Amino acid sequence: MAPMTSATHALLVERVEALDDAELADLCEATDAAIIEGGGFGWVEPQGREALARHFRGVLLVPAIELFVARLDGVPVGSAQLLRPPRNNEAQSFSAQLTHAYIAPYARGHGLARLLVRRVEERASALGHRVLNLDVRDTQTTAITLFEAMGYTHWGTHPAYARVRGATVSGRYYHKLLEPARGRALDIRATHNKG
Ligand SMILES: CC(C)(COP(=O)(O)OP(=O)(O)OC[C@H]1O[C@@H](n2cnc3c(N)ncnc32)[C@H](O)[C@@H]1OP(=O)(O)O)[C@@H](O)C(=O)NCCC(=O)NCCS
């Protein structure tokens, strides 16, 4: 896919099925930088390259997870994961989850996160999912602005969502109805009271 451009930068988001050592090293550096700045990745403390490399290698092996990598001028600077429901969960097979979205602090403000979320939405829709769910700490105000600007509906708040350095943090739950890649639009009214 050809990169988009923002001013003087090339922006690219790709679903990846493999990463070479140099790409993995860049991605781990970006991830640790995001964790140090304040997270968004679940981890509170920086993990170091080896632990993060193990994480990403593991992610690439899990069939239910798809990894999307954001690149600024060709260099991996962030990622997101699309989590698909397990095969036994037929009743919720129409939905999927967007998790672990972040861009390294040194690559922010170029529009990469917006592109990252859009690519995950397009992929989820192409796979037949009609709902994308996500949740975010209440303290991640930039992400909240982004998700709400992209049409995510805040449907609930968990008062004890996370523990960060000894403090309990609340979290917001969002969903978005996806446009079908083809076929009928989802009518969520039809799902009420039908088991
Ligand atoms: C949230 C995050 C991914 C945004 O990354 P980014 O690449 O800088 O975002 P973009 O440049 O694509 O900006 C997209 C939108 O986010 C919002 N935004 C970005 N930076 C902002 C800022 N400093 N203040 C307020 N809103 C901001 C705006 O709505 C912006 O749209 P606009 O440019 O049309 O105004 C990044 O700040 C981050 O990784 N934060 C920590 C991790 C996190 O919170 N992840 C989400 C939870 S899973």
Nearest residue CA, atom 42 of ligand 1? Answer: 40
Output 194 or 89, whichever has higher pLDDT.
89
Contact 135, 171 (CB under 8 A): yes
User: Strand 95-103 and strand 131-137: pairing?
Assistant: parallel
| Residue 191: band (very low, low, confident or very high) from pLDDT cuts 50, 70, 90 | very low
Q: Per-residue b/e over 153-189, b at no fewer than 16 CB within 10 Å?
A: eeeeeeeebbeeeeeebebbbbbbebeeeeeeebeee
| Domain parsing of the chain, residue ranges | 4-191
Q: Which residue has the tokens 């290698």?
A: 57
Nearest-atom index, ligand 1, CA of 143: 1
Residue 188: its pLDDT value, please? 54
**% of the chain residues with pLDDT over 90:** 75
Nearest residue CA, atom 24 of ligand 1? Answer: 142
Q: What is the DSSP string of 46-58?
A: ---HHHHHHHHHH
Q: Reading across the β-sheet that carries 153-164, which strands appear in turn?
A: 4-6, 9-16, 65-72, 75-83, 95-103, 131-137, 167-177, 153-164
Q: Which residue has the tokens 């991830």?
A: 31
**Cα–Cα distance between 80 and 102 in angstroms, integer?**
7
Output 48 or 76, whichever has higher pLDDT.
76
According to DSSP, residue 87 is labeled T
Cβ neighbours of residue 139 closer than 8 Å, sequence gap 6 or more:
38, 164, 169
Separation of 148 CA from ligand 1 center, angstroms? 11
pLDDT tens, residue by residue, 5-24: 777 899 999 999 999 999 99
Question: In the predicted model, what is the mean pLDDT of residues 134-157?
Answer: 97
pLDDT tens, residue by residue, 86-120: 888 888 889 999 999 999 999 999 999 999 999 99
Which CATH architecture describes the domain 4-191? 3-Layer(aba) Sandwich (3.40)
Contact 103, 141 (CB under 8 A): no
Residue to probe by mutation, ligand 1, list 79, 98, 108, 115, most atoms within 8 Å of CB: 108
pTM to 2 decimals?
0.91
Residue 130 main-chain phi, psi, to 5 deg: -115, -10
| Residue 72: band (very low, low, confident or very high) from pLDDT cuts 50, 70, 90 | very high
Separation of 151 CA from ligand 1 center, angstroms? 14
| Residue 47: band (very low, low, confident or very high) from pLDDT cuts 50, 70, 90 | confident
